[in-house]
Structure 1
Amino acid sequence: MALLHASPAEAIDVTPYGARLGSARTYALFKADDMEVIRVVLHAGQSLPPHHVPGSVSLHCLEGCFEVLLGQSVRQLERGQLMHIPPNMPHAVRAIEDSSALVTIVLCQS
């Protein structure tokens, strides 16, 4: 089943899930020519493996707490905090507790 993305100028609810976080899943909110926004949900101990993307990334923790591995350093990202990840920077993300975040990826134009 294909996921539906929001239409241009459509309001999207990104409030924290709260008690519903345990059953929530990751999904793409929208994708445009120049950017993509994803609501990432990771449960305690789950992770995204090391990777990199050609464009800048912002990671905005909506609830919970993440460990973000940037190169050889580990940083903690807590509820309400935002982190910029530069283009091509290797990174990985692990949920310390059930967590959700907004991830914005700048898509490089060819």
Structure 2
Amino acid sequence: MSYGHVKSGDRINLQTLREELEVDTTYALVKTDKMEVIRMALHKGKVVDRHTVDSEISVLCLDGEILFHIDSTAETLTKDDWLYLKEGQPFSYSVKEDTILLVTIVFGERESN
């Protein structure tokens, strides 16, 4: 589930967010024409099958442990580990411990109609 966005200049704690939100909530922090930043809380055991995103992505593990399968390699992320995925790069993941991620998606140039 995703909630509203923070405003420019808002200060938040990425571990606890705001008192009125549950710690295990996925929260869209910012979305603009150029990027989206999401704080994702994932429960142990969650598995996401192989897929791609048509944008560059960075993933910062704030807490927990998650195993990413990227192309033919596997990378375990734990607290303070960072991962970059190029546009269209196939990946999947499985959550080994309850995990909090900060995901940044950078949109490429958009075609105008």
TM range (shorter): 0.7 to 0.9
The equivalent of 1:77 in structure 2 is 77
Offset at residue 3 of structure 1 (A):
2.3
CA shift digits 1:7-52 (9 cap, x unpaired): 12222221368xxxx9512121110111101111111110233221
Offset at residue 62 of structure 1 (A):
0.4
In the alignment of these two chains, the number of paired residues is 106
Quick one: distance in 2 between partners of 1:2 and 1:38?
A: 9
Structure 2: tracts of 5 or more residues without a match: none
| Aligned CA-pair RMSD | 2.2
8 Å CA contact retained: 1:67, 1:74: yes
Q: After the TM superposition, which residues 13-52 of structure 1 pair with which residues of structure 2 at under 5 Å, given as runs?
A: 13-15=13-15, 24-52=24-52
% identical equivalent positions: 30
The equivalent of 1:54 in structure 2 is 54
The equivalent of 1:3 in structure 2 is 3
Structure 1: tracts of 5 or more residues without a match: none
- Runs of 4+ aligned structure 1 residues displaced above 4 Å come to none
Instruction: Judging by fraction of residues, say which structure has more helix.
Output: 1
Offset at residue 91 of structure 1 (A):
0.8
SS of 1:8 mapped into structure 2 = coil
SS of 2:87 mapped into structure 1 = coil
Kindly name which structure, 1 or 2, has the bigger radius of gyration based on alpha carbons: 2
Quick one: distance in 2 between partners of 1:83 and 1:100?
A: 14
Structure 2 vs 1, CA of residues 2 and 76 (structure 1 numbering), >3 Å: closer, same or farther?
closer
Greater CA drift, 57-66 or 42-51: 42-51
Structure 2 vs 1, CA of residues 10 and 23 (structure 1 numbering), >3 Å: closer, same or farther?
closer
